[in-house]
Amino acid sequence: MKCYNIAIIKGDGIGFEIVNEAIKVLNAVCLNENFKLSYKEYLMGGCAYDITNNPLPNETVEGCKKSDAILFGAIGGEKWDSLERHLRPESGLLRLRKELGVYANLRPINVFDELLDVSTIKPEVLRGVDLLIVRELTGGIYFGQPRNKNTKKALNTMVYTKEEIKRVAIVAFDSAMRRRKKVCSIDKANVLEVSQLWRETVEEVAKNYSEVSLSHMYVDNAAMQLVYDPKQFDVMLTSNMFGDILSDEASMICGSIGLLPSASIGGKVGLFEPIHGSAPNIAGLGIANPIATIMSAAMMLRFSLGEESAALRVEKAIQKVLKDGYRTKDLANYGAKKICSTSEMGSIIAKNVAKI
């Protein structure tokens, strides 16, 4: 029987709680499929800093590189906010993404019919939304040099090379070929030179995809269009920061940020994580929604392990559980049959995995 090695990084805040539930579901999947998973846990973020004075210990980087895939929760918290930038939990995560070379971050946004009334947006605007944000992940303003800060002036730099834009654009166009064949590239080309290069390069890549229709949209308009008419989008291609912001906005289309998974690909090993942060305000309360992490585990089964039927099994189990009326607190509404804790939600999904 095949056995895959999975690196587990729980991180800070709710990371521990949500990743435990994803493991519970993965273990249930294995019992019904023809493969095994072996897990090894690594430190990253504030918890790693507390023990090793380093938010990304070398052991974590090496262990992740040797694994078949990485499942990650979230990092960060107020406790570490005053540290120097390179010691902060977020620096650990940015460095790991760079070390792994995972330059494309896929963020699917689908609305569950069962949750149409959870969102603050009207159901008729939301029904049938199915879009994919392809976010560039290892370049742009989060990594640009020079950068510095003193008490009177601070500086960050948005830098993209043509090659960085091209490779993530190819991921977006390839994704569109498997979907509705539409790419909307998001930029600020009316103001930023870096966006002008972005636009020119995307146009060049588009020439190799005659079946895909390409449009461009300024990021400020995209922020508005996303809540005005989200169904107009198929694949949205974005730079690092624009995608970070737009996908948090898009989470409200689904009803909760606790529902949105992501896959970071492009390197030898994929990194799978929910789009949300460590939610320190609810950490330890047992109310975090584990679905985004469980869906990230499903993406891991699909993209890194090639176990499509197992991925579908997890996704169908989530749908069934929501249909049956189970909700974590962030999704509680009049359609809820039972409000669950984080751990109860994981257990119900794991139980349903076997029945699919």
> CB of 74: closest distance to ligand NAD in angstroms?
4
185 in contact with ligand NAD (CB under 6 A)? no
Rounded Cα gap, residues 344 and 219, in angstroms: 39
The residues in 4-23 that bind ligand NAD, with binding defined as CB under 6 A, are: 14, 18
Q: Do residues 34 and 307 make contact, with C-beta atoms less than 8 angstroms apart? A: no
Give the interface size with ligand NAD as a residue count (CB under 6 A).
Answer: 22
77 in contact with ligand NAD (CB under 6 A)? yes
- Catalytic residue, candidates 65, 79, 231, 248: 248
Rg of the chain over Cα atoms, rounded to whole angstroms, equals: 20
Q: Which amino acid is at 157?
A: T
Q: Which of 240, 289, 304, 352 is close enough to bind ligand NAD by CB under 6 A?
A: 289
Helix (H, G, I), strand (E, B) or coil at 127: coil
The length of the chain is 356
Distance (Å) of CA 41 to CA 7, 23, 57: 6, 12, 13
279 in contact with ligand NAD (CB under 6 A)? yes
> CB of 40: closest distance to ligand NAD in angstroms?
20
Rounded Cα gap, residues 18 and 352, in angstroms: 18
Biggest CA–CA distance in the chain, Å, is 61
Element housing 169 (H / E)? helix 162-177
Nearer to ligand NAD, 118 or 310 (CB): 118
Verify whether residue 248 is a known catalytic residue: yes
Distance (Å) of CA 2 to CA 8, 122, 166, 189, 314: 19, 46, 35, 48, 19
Nearer to ligand NAD, 93 or 116 (CB): 93
For strands 130-136 and 235-238, give the pairing: parallel
Q: Which of 69, 74, 202, 310 is close enough to bind ligand NAD by CB under 6 A?
A: 74
Verify whether residue 220 is a known catalytic residue: yes
Q: Which of 19, 75, 202, 236 is close enough to bind ligand NAD by CB under 6 A?
A: 75
> CB of 117: closest distance to ligand NAD in angstroms?
18
Place of tokens 């103001």: 191
> CB of 282: closest distance to ligand NAD in angstroms?
4
Helix (H, G, I), strand (E, B) or coil at 288: coil
249 in contact with ligand NAD (CB under 6 A)? no
Verify whether residue 4 is a known catalytic residue: no
Q: Do residues 279 and 267 make contact, with C-beta atoms less than 8 angstroms apart? A: no
Rounded Cα gap, residues 97 and 270, in angstroms: 9
Q: Of the ranges 25-33, 95-103, 281-289, 299-307, which one interacts with ligand NAD (CB under 6 A)?
A: 281-289
Verify whether residue 142 is a known catalytic residue: yes
Nearer to ligand NAD, 82 or 210 (CB): 82
- Which positions touch ligand NAD (CB under 6 A)? 14, 18, 74-77, 90, 93, 257-258, 273, 276-282, 288-289, 292, 330
Catalytic (active-site) positions: 142, 188, 220, 244, 248
